[in-house]
Structure 1
Amino acid sequence: MLHHKLINPKSIAVIGASNNVQTPGGRVLKNLQNHNFKGELFAVNPKETEVQGVKCYQNIKDIPAVDLAIIAIAAKFTLETIKILVKEKNTKGFIIFSAGFSEKDTEGKKLEQAIVDEINAVGGTLLGPNNIGLINQNYAGVFTTPIPKLDNNGADFISGSGATAVFIIEAAMATGLTFSSVYSVGNSAQIGVEEVLEHLDETFDKNTSSKVKLLYIESIENPQKLLKHATSLIKKGCEIAAIKAGSSSAGSRAASSHTGALANSDVAVDALFKKAGIVRCYGRNELITVASIFMHPELTGKNIAIITHAGGPAVMLTDALSKNGLNVPEIKGKESEELLEKLYLGSSVSNPIDFLATGTAEQLATIIDYCEHKFDKIDAMVVIFGSPGLFEVYDVYDVLHKKMRDCKKPIFPILPSVVNVKNEIDYFVSKGNINFPDEVLFANALGKVANTAKPETIEIKTIANNLEKIRTIINNAENGYLQPQQVKELLLAAKVPVVNEAVCSTKKDCLNTVKEFGFPVVMKVVGPIHKSDVGGIILNITSEERLIASFDTIMKIEGATSVLIQPMKKGIELFIGAKKETNFGHLVLCGLGGIYIEVLKDIQAALAPVSNTEAIEMIQNLKSYKIIQGVRNQKGVDEPKFAEIIEKISNLVTIVPEIAELDLNPLLGNSEEIFAVDARIRIEK
Structure 2
Amino acid sequence: MITNELINPKSIVVVGGSDDIQKPGGKVLKNLLDNKFKGQIYVVNPKADEVQGVKSYRDVADLPQVDLAILAIAAKFCPQTVDVLAKQKNTKAFIILSAGFHEESEEGAKLEQQIVDTINSTGGCLIGPNCIGVMNTNYAGVFTTPIPKFDPKGVDFISGSGATAVFIMESSIPRGLTFNSVYSVGNSAQIGVEEVLEYMDNTFDPNTSSRVKLLYIESVNKPQKLLKHAQSLIRKGCRIAAIKAGSSSAGSRAASSHTGALASSDVAVDALFRKAGIVRCYGRDELATVASIFMHPELQGKNIAVITHAGGPAVMLTDALSNNGMEVPPIEGPKAQELLTKLFPGSSVANPIDFLATGTAEQLGHIIDACENDFDNIDAMVVIFGSPGLFPVYDVYDLLDQKMKECRKPIFPVLPSVMNVKDEIEHFISKGRIFFPDEVALGTSLAKIYHTPKPASEKLTLPEVDEKTIRKVIDSNENGYLAPKAVQQLLDAAGIPRAGEAVVTTADEAVTQAEKLGYPVVMKVVGPVHKSDVGGVVLNVKNSESVRKEFERMIQIKDTKAILIQPLLSGVELFVGAKREEKFGHMVLCGLGGIFIEVLKDVKAALAPIDTNEALGMIRGLKSYGIIKGARGQEPVNEQIFAEIVSRISALVTIVPEIFEMDLNPLLGSKDKVVAVDARIRIEK
Do both share a fold (TM > 0.5)? yes
AA of the residue aligned to 1:600: L
Q: Deviations over 1:215-244 (max 9, x none)?
A: 011100011111100000000000001111
AA of the residue aligned to 2:275: K
Q: Deviations over 1:495-552 (max 9, x none)?
A: 0011111111222322331232232222211112221222211222222222222222
- Equivalent residue, structure 2, for 1:130: 130
Q: Are 1:148 and 2:156 matched, yes or no?
A: no
AA of the residue aligned to 1:468: K
Aligned pairs (5 A) from 1:495-510: 495-510=495-510
- Equivalent residue, structure 2, for 1:641: 641
Q: Secondary structure at the match of 1:492?
A: helix
C-alpha distance in 2 between matches for 1:437 and 1:472: 61
C-alpha distance in 2 between matches for 1:661 and 1:379: 44
**Residue 629 of structure 1, CA deviation:** 2.1
- Equivalent residue, structure 2, for 1:364: 364
The question of whether the paired residues in 2 share the 8 Å contact of 1:521 and 1:541 is answered with: yes
- Equivalent residue, structure 1, for 2:392: 392
- Equivalent residue, structure 2, for 1:304: 304
Q: Deviations over 1:407-436 (max 9, x none)?
A: 111111100001110111011111111000
- Equivalent residue, structure 1, for 2:166: 166
C-alpha distance in 2 between matches for 1:462 and 1:383: 46
**Residue 636 of structure 1, CA deviation:** 2.1
C-alpha distance in 2 between matches for 1:630 and 1:340: 43
**Residue 327 of structure 1, CA deviation:** 1.5
TM-score normalised by L of structure 2: 0.98
Greater alpha carbon shift after TM alignment, 188-197 vs 329-338: 329-338
The question of whether the paired residues in 1 share the 8 Å contact of 2:462 and 2:610 is answered with: no
Q: Deviations over 1:584-634 (max 9, x none)?
A: 111111111111111111111111111211111211222222222223443
- Equivalent residue, structure 2, for 1:477: 477
**Residue 463 of structure 1, CA deviation:** 6.1
- Equivalent residue, structure 1, for 2:380: 380
Q: Are 1:51 and 2:39 matched, yes or no?
A: no
Q: Secondary structure at the match of 2:181?
A: strand
The question of whether the paired residues in 2 share the 8 Å contact of 1:212 and 1:294 is answered with: yes
- Equivalent residue, structure 1, for 2:204: 204
Greater alpha carbon shift after TM alignment, 537-546 vs 55-64: 537-546
Q: Are 1:582 and 2:594 matched, yes or no?
A: no
C-alpha distance in 2 between matches for 1:437 and 1:503: 65
Moved over 6 A (4+): none
C-alpha distance in 1 between matches for 2:523 and 2:464: 34
**Residue 401 of structure 1, CA deviation:** 1.1
Greater alpha carbon shift after TM alignment, 331-340 vs 215-224: 331-340
AA of the residue aligned to 1:467: E
Greater alpha carbon shift after TM alignment, 113-122 vs 286-295: 113-122
Cα separation, partners in 2 of 1:463 and 1:280, compared to 1, 3 Å:
closer
Q: Deviations over 1:531-589 (max 9, x none)?
A: 12222112222222222222221221111111111122222211100101111111111
Aligned pairs (5 A) from 1:405-416: 405-416=405-416
C-alpha distance in 2 between matches for 1:580 and 1:334: 59
C-alpha distance in 2 between matches for 1:423 and 1:518: 81
AA of the residue aligned to 1:317: L
Name stretches of at least 5 consecutive residues in structure 2 with no aligned partner: none
**Residue 272 of structure 1, CA deviation:** 0.8
RMSD: 1.4
Q: Secondary structure at the match of 2:220?
A: coil
Aligned pairs (5 A) from 1:440-451: 440-451=440-451
Greater alpha carbon shift after TM alignment, 250-259 vs 484-493: 250-259
- Equivalent residue, structure 1, for 2:107: 107
Q: Are 1:70 and 2:70 matched, yes or no?
A: yes
Q: Secondary structure at the match of 2:569?
A: coil
Identity %: 66
Name stretches of at least 5 consecutive residues in structure 1 with no aligned partner: none
TM-score normalised by L of structure 1: 0.98
C-alpha distance in 2 between matches for 1:230 and 1:463: 26
- Equivalent residue, structure 2, for 1:429: 429
Q: Deviations over 1:123-162 (max 9, x none)?
A: 2111011100001111111001111011111000001111
Q: Are 1:35 and 2:35 matched, yes or no?
A: yes
Aligned pairs (5 A) from 1:446-595: 446-461=446-461, 466-595=466-595
AA of the residue aligned to 1:266: D
C-alpha distance in 1 between matches for 2:554 and 2:546: 12
The question of whether the paired residues in 2 share the 8 Å contact of 1:305 and 1:381 is answered with: yes
- Equivalent residue, structure 1, for 2:220: 220
The question of whether the paired residues in 2 share the 8 Å contact of 1:252 and 1:265 is answered with: no
- Equivalent residue, structure 1, for 2:194: 194
AA of the residue aligned to 1:579: K
Q: Secondary structure at the match of 1:26?
A: helix
Q: Secondary structure at the match of 2:36?
A: coil
Aligned pairs (5 A) from 1:589-604: 589-604=589-604
Q: Deviations over 1:78-130 (max 9, x none)?
A: 11111111221111101010011111122222221221111111121110111
Q: Secondary structure at the match of 2:583?
A: helix
**Residue 465 of structure 1, CA deviation:** 6.0
Aligned pairs (5 A) from 1:643-662: 643-662=643-662
**Residue 461 of structure 1, CA deviation:** 4.7
The question of whether the paired residues in 2 share the 8 Å contact of 1:253 and 1:264 is answered with: no
The question of whether the paired residues in 2 share the 8 Å contact of 1:458 and 1:611 is answered with: no
C-alpha distance in 2 between matches for 1:310 and 1:114: 62
C-alpha distance in 2 between matches for 1:382 and 1:519: 63
C-alpha distance in 1 between matches for 2:28 and 2:613: 50
C-alpha distance in 1 between matches for 2:449 and 2:384: 20
Count of matched residue positions in the alignment of Structure 1 and Structure 2: 685
- Equivalent residue, structure 1, for 2:610: 610
